[in-house]
Amino acid sequence: MITSLSIENFALIEKLNIDFSNGFSIITGETGAGKSILLGALGLVLGKRADLTSLKNKDEKCIVEANFSIGKYKLESFFESNDLDYEEETIIRREILPSGKSRAFINDSPVNLQQLQDLSFYLIDVHSQHQTLELSEEDYQFKILDSIANNQELLGEYQALLKTYRVAKSTLESKKNEFSTILKEKDYNEFLYNELESANLKHGELEELEQQYQSLNNVEFIKENLDKLLSMANEDEFGILKNLKEFKATLQKNAGFSTEYQSVLERTNSILIEFDDIVKELNRESELVYNDPEKLEAINQKLQLIYNLQKKHNVLTVEELLEIQASLESKVVSVSNLEEEIAKLENDITDFESQLDVIALKISRSRSEAVPNLSEKLIAILNQLGMPNVRFKIEIRSSATYHNNGKDSLEFLFSGNKGTDFGLLKKVASGGEMSRIMLAVKSILSQYSKLPTIIFDEIDTGVSGEIANKIGEIMRDMSKTMQVFAITHLPQIAAKGTKHYKVFKTVMGENTVSELKLLNTEERIIEIAEMLSGKDISDSAVNHAKALLN
């Protein structure tokens, strides 16, 4: 329930602080006094958009703050999912800056308008004549019927499974499209893959083959140079090895005279050892060099194969060809994998449909059982509201479609007078009848579900006398289980409230401001008497007001 409302610099309101209690509260005031302004300010904390026209003083910010007692609403999960601090006494504040920017806070945490709107669904239901249009919508009609049928748990189970089912259906459609695309390219991909696989490519192979090809293709030139090098190293009289050994032997004679000679000797010895190793290596290479035309041809063919594949796939390296091969292999293999995935998804979807059908049937049967109860309750309340011949025919039909709330379709048929045929509610019910039906619906729902605070905004337009009295009684009965506000022009309804607030205008200097005041007993008698007889209050009007209040 809303426990207090604070408004600053909004429309005709300069500053207003008002506390509210549970039960049935009445708000009255002359036309134009500011009742709509009060609802507009409340709308801001419930997430409605605002602009600079909301500011009374364009140079100062507008602040609307509302306190709510939410301990009974079980909203901990909402606060947790929105990363907000949960407080049983929750404060919602909305600010509109002179720049036109808007800020919103829940328990001092900044939030966006969508979060405010989502939370407001659990807090306040502002019921106006315009809202009666919801009665014509099938979703709202199902909401009424499911509340009477106590289908909330079944609907939760159904909707959770439906979400999984729809994800599976979407995945299946995607897999089928992917499978269709792959099938079109399957043969070509297999050909390309087999071609690459038969090439037996290896990482680093191209560079190695090119090096081998150069060696085999220039074998005579390489052999000639190797023989020349070995001859220069090993010649008996002038060979490098012989000269190095003589150089070392001569240097050794001086090595004992100084450390410098000894150091040079050691370096010379290192050169001799390294050069001797080089000569041995060249000998081994020389033995390996021989003419092999068959191997040369094989290497040439492999190189040409690789070059052709690189050109075909527009790449420069074997590594890139191997990547393409892996990708093609994945596509070739994925055909069979996709077939298995599609088959499994189809089986899962069939299972989901079976489970959904079972739950949907339970929901449908529960609805069918609730229809007579709902019709009887509606007729009983509407009979009190001056509709003695009203009848309802609520027809539930099963369909093959999985809707968000089951597999049913619904026709809410209505007849308001004797001898008239049933017709769709939205086509045959008048505006006044729709208002009274909506009031009856709200009254019934208050018995079955924990409705938030409800504000009836002049839904009594066009009624009077005993009907107005019955409307007031219905609202008062609703207030036994929830907080109810009624903005009204009818004294019969105003007299039923436990609290009575008056909206009025006052002129302060050059400004007109709207104010809201909680009336005491005497003030309330005068207000209701004025509603009965106008500004010139008669004694009979005062007595009538007292009688209504008693």
Q: How confident is the model at residue 184, as a pLDDT?
A: 73
| Residue after which a domain boundary falls, among 276, 306, 337 | 337
**Looking at the domain assignment, is residue 139 inside a domain?**
no
Residues 119 and 54 in one domain: yes
Model confidence pLDDT, tens digit, residues 317-352: 888 888 888 887 777 666 777 888 899 999 999 999
- Of 191, 346, 323, nearest to 338 by C-alpha is 346
**Looking at the domain assignment, is residue 229 inside a domain?**
yes
Q: How confident is the model at residue 359, as a pLDDT?
A: 96
* Rg for the chain, CA atoms, rounded: 46
pLDDT surpassing 90 at residue 427: no
**Looking at the domain assignment, is residue 550 inside a domain?**
no
Q: Up-side HSE of residue 412: CA atoms within 13 Å toward CB?
A: 23
The two structure tokens encoding residue 321 = 């060809």
Average pLDDT over residues 129-154: 86
Residues 91 and 225 in one domain: no
d(CA 499, CA 447): 22
Residues 210 and 115 in one domain: no
The alpha carbon of residue 28 and the mean position of all alpha carbons in its chain are separated, in whole angstroms, by 41
Which of 95-99, 159-163, 375-379, 450-454 is least confident? 450-454
Q: With bands split at pLDDT 50, 70 and 90, how would you rate the model's confidence at 63?
A: very high
Residues 80 and 213 in one domain: no
- Of 153, 161, 68, nearest to 106 by C-alpha is 68
**Looking at the domain assignment, is residue 481 inside a domain?**
yes
Q: How confident is the model at residue 129, as a pLDDT?
A: 67
> Do 7 and 16 contact (CB within 8 A), yes or no?
yes
* Burial class of residue 495 in the structure, from the number of CB atoms within 10 Å of its CB (0-12 exposed, 13-18 middle, 19+ buried): buried
Average pLDDT, the chain: 87
Residues 185 and 254 in one domain: yes
pLDDT surpassing 80 at residue 94: yes
Between 53 and 47, the more confident residue is: 47
What's at 56, amino acid-wise? Answer: K
The two structure tokens encoding residue 456 = 């009836």
What's at 438, amino acid-wise? Answer: M
Counting residues of the chain whose pLDDT is more than 70, the rounded percentage is: 97
Counting residues of the chain whose pLDDT is more than 90, the rounded percentage is: 40
Average pLDDT over residues 374-403: 92
Count of the separate structural domains present in the chain: 2
Number of helical (H) and strand (E) elements in the chain, helices listed first: 17, 15
Q: How confident is the model at residue 419, as a pLDDT?
A: 83
Between 32 and 232, the more confident residue is: 232
d(CA 316, CA 446): 76
Q: How confident is the model at residue 491, as a pLDDT?
A: 92
Average pLDDT over residues 42-65: 85
Between 240 and 172, the more confident residue is: 172
Residues 183 and 253 in one domain: yes
Residues 272-300: b if buried by 16+ CB within 10 A, e if exposed: beeeeeebeebeeebeebeeeeeebeebe
| Residue after which a domain boundary falls, among 295, 318, 337 | 337
- Of 469, 514, 383, 453, nearest to 9 by C-alpha is 514
Range of the domain at 330: 178-337
The two structure tokens encoding residue 379 = 């007729």
Cα distances from 360 to residues 363, 367, 408, 538, in angstroms, run 5, 10, 8, 62
pLDDT surpassing 80 at residue 513: yes
**Looking at the domain assignment, is residue 492 inside a domain?**
yes
Which of 127-131, 244-248, 338-342, 361-365 is least confident? 127-131
Average pLDDT over residues 453-469: 82
Model confidence pLDDT, tens digit, residues 242-262: 888 888 888 888 888 888 888
Model confidence pLDDT, tens digit, residues 191-201: 887 888 888 88
**Looking at the domain assignment, is residue 494 inside a domain?**
yes
What's at 71, amino acid-wise? Answer: G
**In the chain, what is the straight-line distance between the N-terminal and C-terminal CA atoms, in Å?**
27
**Looking at the domain assignment, is residue 168 inside a domain?**
no
**Looking at the domain assignment, is residue 440 inside a domain?**
no
Residues 182 and 330 in one domain: yes
Residues 96 and 214 in one domain: no
- Of 457, 358, 429, 318, nearest to 36 by C-alpha is 457
Model confidence pLDDT, tens digit, residues 516-534: 899 999 999 999 999 988 8
The 3-state DSSP class for residue 192 equals helix
The two structure tokens encoding residue 497 = 């409230």
Residues 99 and 31 in one domain: yes
| Total Cβ atoms within 10 A of residue 525 | 21
Which of 310-324, 358-372, 521-535 is least confident? 310-324
Q: How confident is the model at residue 130, as a pLDDT?
A: 67
pLDDT surpassing 90 at residue 546: yes
The two structure tokens encoding residue 533 = 């007889």
Average pLDDT over residues 67-75: 89
Residues 202 and 291 in one domain: yes
Residues 208 and 111 in one domain: no
The two structure tokens encoding residue 434 = 């729709």
> Do 50 and 61 contact (CB within 8 A), yes or no?
no
- Of 538, 542, 442, nearest to 491 by C-alpha is 542
Which of 126-135, 505-514, 522-531 is least confident? 126-135
User: In terms of C-beta distances under 8 Å and separation of at least 24 residues, what long-range contacts does 244-251 make, across chains too?
Assistant: 244/268, 244/271, 244/272, 244/275, 245/272, 248/272
- What CATH number does the domain containing 501 carry? 3.40.50.300
- The helix-helix angle for 219-234 and 205-217 (nearest 10°) equals 70
The two structure tokens encoding residue 160 = 């959770």
| Residue after which a domain boundary falls, among 337, 371, 389 | 337
Record the pTM. 0.67
Residues 45 and 187 in one domain: no
Cα distances from 105 to residues 71, 91, 111, in angstroms, run 19, 8, 5
The 3-state DSSP class for residue 472 equals helix
